């Protein structure tokens, strides 16, 4: 899975990190997880140790072990393993980037540090340049997620600077609802990949030319979302809209329960039958024994399973 200039397209599942009840990373689950994504969801790209994977709550050592395991089991089965290496510490991020390259990952990605934040776009680009330089052979994707990092520089402004200073810069994983900014990026930087990260409005991203999408729901709604992508490509907007609306209704249902990432992990366990365990502290899950049935009912009602 070497970097051969191929573009990152289609769906990318932002993987959950399997954990034991004692909150240790549960590596033996990963082989089964990869097979599930490939065979049941028809998703052949993964984004590991990101937000959904609770990457920021893992130690550097745990992140390395997870990367090794994902890459090992994806080899020959998947098209791309993108490893998120963003950290609060530049040295840790560089260490993880070099490690991802040594393992045979296909690309790396990093968020902005979010405690000591960059004061201006150039400060962020200089930080990302050092991270990317630790794995110069791997395509680098900036991970824009302002709702969590608090770093709100417009991506359409950052992209030209990243292009100028980061030789391996390939594109952006764009997790924000600002479709003006997203659309400008695609319009101005056609040779780069812009992957959309708000699953509930992916269809909007597609209209503006998204090259692909990275998200948590593609773990268990990958096949459904692929049907939407095909409908869109074939010009069947009515069908694509119907599928997107069903996904929206499901996500709205999840949020209406007061749920979020911890419960998304439970939902993936419920749908896939793979026990991914609990989230790691400080996250806690509000999922109760009666909830799996409630989830299945709602998904059946929406024709999602």
| Residues involved in catalysis | 143, 173
Q: Which of 8, 11, 14, 158 is the binder for ligand SI3 (CB under 6 A)?
A: 14
Task: Give me the 254-283 binding string for ligand SI3, x by CB under 6 A, dash otherwise.
Answer: -------x----------------------
Write the DSSP string, 201-241: GHHHHHHTT--EEEESGGGTSHHHHHHHHHHHHTT-HHHHH
Contact stretch for ligand SI3 (CB under 6 A) within 1-9, 35-43, 213-221, 237-245: 213-221
Q: How far is the CB of 198 from ligand SI3 (least distance, A)?
A: 5
CA-closest candidate to residue 236, choices 244, 228, 247, 246: 228
State which residue, 129 or 144, has the beta carbon closest to ligand SI3.
144
Contact stretch for ligand SI3 (CB under 6 A) within 22-30, 116-124, 155-163, 193-201: 193-201
**Number of C-beta neighbours around residue 237 at 10 A:** 12
Task: Give me the 27-66 binding string for ligand SI3, x by CB under 6 A, dash otherwise.
Answer: --------------------x--xxx--------------
Q: How far is the CB of 202 from ligand SI3 (least distance, A)?
A: 8
Q: How far is the CB of 208 from ligand SI3 (least distance, A)?
A: 16
Q: How far apart are alpha carbons 268 and 60 in whole angstroms?
A: 25
Q: How far is the CB of 223 from ligand SI3 (least distance, A)?
A: 16
H/E element, 196: strand 193-196
Q: How far is the CB of 55 from ligand SI3 (least distance, A)?
A: 8
Contact stretch for ligand SI3 (CB under 6 A) within 74-82, 151-159, 179-187, 208-216: 208-216
Which residue sits closest to ligand SI3, CB atoms considered? 50
Q: Which of 10, 205, 212, 215 is the binder for ligand SI3 (CB under 6 A)?
A: 215
Contacts with 74 (C-beta within 8 Å, 6 or more apart), sequence order: 1, 34, 46, 81
Q: How far apart are alpha carbons 64 and 84 in whole angstroms?
A: 11
CA-closest candidate to residue 182, choices 203, 162, 154, 161: 154
Backbone phi, psi, residue 107, to 5°: -165, 160
Backbone phi, psi, residue 260, to 5°: -155, -140
DSSP class of 91: H
Residues near ligand SI3 (CB under 6 A) are 14, 47, 50-52, 175, 197-200, 214-217, 251, 261
């Amino acid at each position: 899975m070497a970097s051969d200039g191929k573009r990152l397209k289609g769906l990318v599942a932002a993987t959950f990190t399997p954990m034991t009840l004692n909150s240790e990373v549960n590596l033996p689950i990963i082989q089964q997880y990869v097979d599930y994504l490939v065979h049941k969801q028809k998703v052949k790209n993964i984004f590991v140790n990101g937000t959904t994977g609770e990457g920021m709550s893992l130690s550097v050592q745990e992140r390395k072990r997870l990367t090794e395991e994902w890459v090992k089991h994806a080899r020959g089965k998947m098209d791309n393993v993108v490893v998120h290496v963003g950290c609060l510490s530049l040295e840790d991020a560089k260490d993880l980037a070099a490690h991802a390259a040594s393992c045979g990952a296909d690309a790396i990605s990093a968020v902005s540090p979010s405690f000591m934040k960059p004061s201006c776009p150039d400060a962020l680009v200089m930080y990302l340049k050092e991270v990317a330089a630790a794995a110069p052979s791997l395509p680098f994707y900036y991970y824009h997620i302002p709702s969590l990092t608090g770093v709100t520089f417009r991506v359409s402004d950052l992209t030209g600077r990243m292009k100028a200073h980061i030789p391996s810069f390939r594109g952006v994983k764009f997790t924000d609802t600002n479709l003006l900014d997203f659309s400008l990026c695609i319009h101005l930087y056609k040779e780069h990949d812009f992957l959309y990260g708000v699953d509930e409005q992916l269809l909007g991203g597609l209209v503006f030319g998204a090259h692909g999408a990275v998200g948590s729901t593609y773990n268990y709604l990958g096949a459904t979302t692929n049907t939407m992508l095909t409908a869109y490509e074939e010009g069947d907007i009515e069908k694509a809209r119907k599928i997107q609306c069903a996904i929206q209704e499901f996500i709205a249902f999840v949020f209406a329960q007061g749920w979020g990432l911890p419960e998304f992990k439970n939902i993936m366990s419920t749908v896939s039958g793979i026990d991914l365990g609990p989230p790691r502290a400080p996250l806690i899950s509000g999922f109760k024994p009666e909830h799996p049935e409630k989830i299945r009912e709602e998904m059946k009602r929406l024709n999602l399973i």
